[in-house]
Structure 1
Amino acid sequence: MAAATPSTAGAARGLTVAAAAVAALALLPLFFVVGVSIDSGWPTIRELVLRPRVGELLLNTGLLVALTLPLCIALGVGLAWLTERTDLPCRRGWSALATAPLAVPAFVHSYAWVSLLPALHGLAAGVMVSVLAYFPFLYLPVAATLRRLDPALEDVAASLGMTARTRFFRVVLPQLRLAIWGGALLVGLHLLAEYGLYAMIRFDTFTTAIYDQFQSTFNGPAANMLAGVLALCCLALLLLEATTRGHARYARVGSGSIRQQRQLRLGRAARYAALLLPLTTTLLALGVPLLTLARWLLAGGSDAWRSSGLLPALVQTLELAAAGALVALVAAVPMAWLSIRAPGRLQRMLEACNYVASSLPGIVVALALVTFTIHYTRAIYQTTLTVLLAYLLMFMPRAMLSLRTGIAQSPAELEDVARSLGRTPGQALRQITLRLAAPGAAAGAALVFLGVANELTATLLLAPSGTRTLATAFWALTSEIDYVSAAPYALLLIVLSMPLTWLLYHQSRRTAGR
């Protein structure tokens, strides 16, 4: 990288200050965990943490993660192999359908299954619904990696007499390690953070227990201690992934040309047998939610859409999602610019702060903001500003990653030319770089928008009285077992999530040149 010009260095100093302020805010949940522990003291910690209830929650959560992750990995890898490396009929269509469950929020999956089977509850139910809701997070990276793998290694293995099965386990599977580890980390963090799915099927996890404790004691030490344990679980998961992913290289070095991946030809009987996996998965992950929604919508008829709260909930959802996307995008600009124009150790540390904060469950972020605003900024307690701060902490990395890609595609020389013509660094950034980075910024804003639209836990805890988004209104109605009235809210949530699903699927195929 060329040495920074004086004007670039000056812009970097100003943006570093702004990025440091955002990073300090992002560390607020961790400060909350540490501060609560110090204030409570060891005797209180021992009393609240070392008790049977915490052990039960730890066992439930541990079993949930330990059972769900292998099933998600097996299902995601199996579907990716069938749709990318075999002559399975309608492979492109099955690939899109394997991504589509992401358009259905996890708590809507749970709503569909509970309304279909009211007796469904407990660990087995939690594992089943979690796998159906989250396996696409494994499928997408694994399928994208399979498309990019160099087939030369498999050709060499075949020339040595290895069967297709042996080649998969000894040559292909090791190259999928990073994709599997990354997808498993994402699924694990969702499992630790999810509230609505497990509350609806009556399966106790740390998140459901924290919410119930908060509702009964309001910011009591028990809820705060449970939040601290949950935060430690998330950090332990991050550390486990970082220490076990390995340091092997998976990129090809040297000249060469892109080659079409060899497809395994299935026999007629094997082809029909292989179709059972995507067909069954689609029926369970998409068919059940959509058919259940159709059932309740038909039962409610046109009256279900005449609910007085439906339009206000949609408007408030759109307003909060748009405001959250704008706040996250503006806050992401300094860090995204620094990561491309002035990378360094300090920049990497500041960026890591945002990633760690976004990996924490929304309920921990919400409790941190409740505690902070009550003690230090009571004027903004339970206001829209506090809700937007929560969205910023939870979703800013989504905006930053997309914006960083856009800035990387904007030539730095154009900023230098603008400054030489009398523009200030801020004007050059706004008028040149951000305009050229607009597509990446728009993609990041869309990711944040849809994340906010489906957010439930932090909104329930932090939103001002009278705030009613599609997610919170849906939750209130399902809590009253009014499944008919809840169906339109669920359908609108799915409709809002469809662009995100399409974006993820399209980007997955584009990065592989397909």
Structure 2
Amino acid sequence: MVTTQAPRTTRTGAGPLLSGTVALLVALTFIPLGYVAWAIVSTGPARVYALVVRPRVGELLVNTVGLVVVTVPICVALGVAAAWLVERTDVPGRAVWRPLLVAPLAVPAFINSYAWVSVWPQLHGFGAGVLVSALSYFPFVYLPAAATLRRLDPAIEESARALGSSPVGVFFRVVLPQLRLAVLGGGLLIGVHLLAEYGAFAMLRFATFTTAIFEQFQATFDGVAGATLAGILVTLCLVLLLAESALRGKARFARIGSGAPRILTPIPLRTFGPAATAGLAALTALALGVPVWTLTRWLLIGGTAVWSLSDLGTALLQTTLLAAGAAILATVLAFPFAWLAVRFSGPLARTVEGANFITSAMPGIVTALALVTVAIRFAPGLYQTTALVLCAYLLMFLPRALVNLRSGLAQIPPALEEASLSLGRSPAHTFFHVTLRLTAPAAAAGMCLVFVAVATELTATLLLAPTGTRTLAMRFWSLSSELDYAAAAPYATVLVLLSIPVTVLLFNQSTKVATA
């Protein structure tokens, strides 16, 4: 068993089939960006300038950038600290903390907002946005960080300790550098999600570019003003991508073999044990206890009168089918993107990696309007169809599968695939028996993340769904917008219950150690 820091392979050509397939998929991802660019160019520089320099835009910029700058580091700190306590120390109840710290993924951000507003009606503004976002999104860092810690070679950390390094020194010099890819990928997902989130911030009355774009289209259907704001949002996403790429660098850490059967001796916390336990308990109570208590309270207040089993059943079936279909498609299509980004270098690989994140950072309403415009003008038969809805989901959530697959592929030494080919195995055999097997946990995790995202998606579904579509998120939003919190509670509860098995599967897959 060896842990290596392997550079990106030196291959520069991806082959015509892979390049052509990926280029076609990238072209599709640029549809929303093309819509925004077309709307801005057709307006003219004078009006665009007038729209950009408005005081309102400055306020939205401060709110949105401030939210990302404050929330992402908090999520990283919470996720990494929790992962290190659970995976590397003797904190009591580690087997219990592992699933509890993943469980917040089952509670959508807008349901978290609904819960906190129910408990604290005066909660709104920047602080509220940071609070709810951090509690909703820190598992995006905790999950890959904990999974990476379980895969690291224990001998390296033990050697560092034997040479006199303290636990803190071992963490910063040995462990943290090997968590870089997982932490940066999770942080990027959080940042992109913050840029595109609508429901949670609308309920907290906190204005961001996304809420302003939705309100602009909803109130006046001013496509130019909305597209201008979306253009600024795309620029912010590009900044995030460049920052993540610069921090990530070119190093890749890969572990060959399953390693020795021994387990790293947990670090004793001694007098810090009660404080660590109290911190994990407080984090879990805030992230899970508040929404669970709120939903229970509203269900008791509403009683049996708020349960419409036929409507709930229809919403559950439609949500499950849409989410499962999008999850499978997104994971399959993410493979060529991830393969090109990890195994090859050059402009195409960099463009492929960035295109998906730029598109996913756009609000769902902008993606939906772009697809509606293209469908009406060039493919009228696609308008108001499930295929168009799935296309929107792919554009918005494919990065969730891509980040996981990229991390999984980066930990597979290219030498293993080359060895299989040198033994006379075909590329297809090598892919299915080496690459796919080793990336299966990462693929399953990405599929689960897409499923949860689609099940809780709201704005694009409202605009694109065929007549008669009533997902759980749509019904919840309709009732909660009317302040009928009791009637909305059953839909929120079923949505959380639907996400729990997927979250459990995500947790189980993350605990599996890929072996060669």
TM-score by length of 1: 0.83
Q: Return the letter of the residue paired with 1:360.
A: A
> For the structure 1 residues 394 and 273, does the alpha-carbon distance in structure 2 shift closer, same or farther, using more than 3 Å as the test?
same
Residue number in structure 2 paired with 1:206:
209
| Aligned match of 1:185 | 188
State the shift of 1:313 in Å.
1.9
In structure 2, relative to structure 1, the CA distance for the partners of 1:363 and 1:230 (3 Å cut) is farther
Other-structure match for 1:296: 298
Partner of 1:422: none
Asked if structure 2 preserves the Cα contact closer than 8 Å seen for 1:64 and 1:126, the reply is yes
| 8 A Cα contact 1:354 1:396, kept in partner | no
Aligned match of 1:368: 370
2-side partners of 1:160 and 1:438: how far apart?
37
Cα distance 1:344–1:282, how it changes in 2: closer, same or farther (>3 A)? closer
TM-score (norm 2): 0.82
Question: What secondary structure does 2:511 align onto?
Answer: helix
Please say if 1:98 is aligned against 2:64.
no
Distance 1:384 1:69, change over 3 A: same
| Matched residue, 1:234 | 237
**1-side partners of 2:138 and 2:335: how far apart?**
32
Cα distance, 1:373 vs structure 2? 3.3
Query: Partners of 1:434 and 1:128 in 2: how far apart?
Result: 38
- 2:353 maps to a residue whose letter is A
Is residue 2:501 matched to residue 1:496?
no
1:279 CA displacement: 0.6
Aligned ranges for residues 100-179 of structure 1 at < 5 Å?
100-179=103-182
After superposition, what is the alpha-carbon deviation per residue over 1:148-198, rounded to whole angstroms, capped at 9, x for unaligned?
A: 333444444434444333333344334333332222111111111111110
1:487–1:463 distance in 2 versus 1, CA, 3 Å: same
Q: Is the 8 A contact 1:29 1:364 kept in 2?
A: yes
Deviation at 1:498, TM superposition (A): 1.5
1:39 to 37, 42, 51: 42
Q: Are the aligned partners of 1:316 and 1:468 in contact in 2 as well (CA < 8 Å)? A: yes
Q: Which has the larger radius of gyration?
A: 1
Structure-2 residue corresponding to 1:82: 85
Alignment-mate amino acid for residue 58 of structure 1? L
Secondary structure, in 3 states, of the residue corresponding to 1:511?
A: coil
Contact 1:358 1:397 (C-alpha < 8 Å) held by counterparts: no
Q: Structure 1 counterpart of 2:121, which letter? A: P
Match in the other structure for 1:4: none
What is the aligned partner in structure 2 of residue 3 from structure 1? Answer: none
Q: CA distance change for structure 1 residues 446 and 75 in 2, over 3 Å: closer, same or farther?
A: closer
The 1:299/1:88 distance shift into structure 2, 3 A limit, reads same
Question: How many angstroms apart in 2 are the aligned matches of 1:143 and 1:209?
Answer: 36
Instruction: Measure, in 2, the Cα distance between the counterparts of 1:416 and 1:237.
Output: 35
In structure 1, the residue matched to 2:31 is 28
Deviation at 1:461?
A: 2.7
Relative distance call for 1:389 and 1:272 in structure 2 (3 A) is: same
Residue 480 of structure 1 and its aligned partner are, at CA, apart by: 0.5
- In structure 2, distance between residues paired with 1:248 and 1:438: 22
CA positional deviation for 1:213: 0.5
The 3 A distance-change label for structure 1 pair 275 and 399 is closer
**What is the alpha-carbon distance in structure 2 between the residues aligned to residue 80 and residue 417 of structure 1?**
36
Give the number of equivalent residue pairs.
Answer: 489
Q: Is the 8 A contact 1:23 1:353 kept in 2?
A: no
The one-letter code of the counterpart of 2:504 is: W
SS at match of 1:260: coil
1:112–1:271: structure 2 CA closer, same or farther, 3 Å change rule? Answer: same
Change over 3 Å in CA distance of 1:499–1:302 after alignment to 2: same
Q: 1:347 Cα deviation (Å)? A: 7.3
AA of the residue aligned to 1:286: L
Cα distance in 1 for residues equivalent to 2:268 and 2:332: 50
Structure 1: gaps of 5 or more residues: 1-8, 419-428
Deviation at 1:100, TM superposition (A): 0.6
Name the residue aligned to 1:421: none
Q: How much has 1:272 moved relative to structure 2? A: 1.9
Alpha-carbon distance change, 45 to 494 in structure 1, aligned in 2, over 3 angstroms: same
Instruction: Give the structure 2 partner of residue 480 of structure 1.
Output: 482
| CA deviations over 1:287-319 (Å, ceiling 9, x no partner) | 111111111111112222126632332232234
Alpha-carbon offset, residue 251 of structure 1: 4.8
Amino acid aligned to 2:397: F
Contact preservation (8 Å) 1:29, 1:357:
no
SS of residue in 2 equivalent to 1:455: coil
Deviates more, 1:504-513 or 1:135-144: 504-513
Q: Tell me how far apart the structure 2 counterparts of residues 439 and 72 of structure 1 sit (CA, whole Å).
A: 23
Q: Once the two structures are superposed, what CA deviation does each residue of 1:113-156 show, in whole Å capped at 9, x if it has no partner?
A: 11111111111111111111011111112222222333444444
Please give the alpha-carbon distance, in whole angstroms, between the structure 2 residues aligned to 1:138 and 1:440. 14
Identical columns (%): 54
Q: Are the counterparts in 2 of residues 219 and 371 from structure 1 also a CA contact under 8 Å? A: no
2:395 paired residue among 375, 393, 396:
393
Cα-to-partner distance string for 1:209-264 (whole Å, 9 max, x where unaligned): 11000101225211111111111111210111101223455457999746522311
Offset of residue 444 of structure 1: 6.2
Q: For 2:473, which of 471, 474, 492 is the aligned residue? A: 471
User: Does the 8 Å CA contact 1:112/1:292 hold for their aligned counterparts?
Assistant: yes
Partner of 1:507: 509
Structure 1 residues 219 and 329: alpha-carbon distance in aligned structure 2, compared to 1, 3 A threshold: farther
| 1:198–1:204 CA contact under 8 A, matched in 2 | yes
**Take 2:185 and 2:512, find their aligned partners in 1: how far apart are those partners?**
19
Question: d(CA) in 1 for partners of 2:18 and 2:449?
Answer: 24
Q: Which residue of 2 aligns with 1:72?
A: 75
* 2:56 matched residue in structure 1: 53
Larger deviation, residues 342-351 vs 57-66: 342-351
Task: Supply the distance in 2 between the matched residues of 1:17 and 1:141 (Cα, whole angstroms).
Answer: 31
For residues 8-47 of structure 1, the C-alpha deviation after alignment (integer angstroms, 9 at most, x for no partner) is x9xx866765543332111112222322222122112111
Q: Is the 8 A contact 1:324 1:392 kept in 2?
A: yes
For the structure 1 residues 172 and 221, does the alpha-carbon distance in structure 2 shift closer, same or farther, using more than 3 Å as the test?
same
Measured in 1, the distance between the counterparts of 2:443 and 2:176 equals 35
Query: Hey, what's the Cα distance between the residues in 1 that align with 2:353 and 2:153?
Result: 32
Distance 2:100 2:229 in 1: 38
Task: State the match for 1:260 in structure 2.
Answer: 263
Unaligned runs of 5+ in 2: 1-13
| Alignment CA distance shift 1:463-1:56 (3 Å) | same
Aligned equivalent of 1:5: none
Of 361-370 and 386-395, the range deviating more from structure 2: 361-370
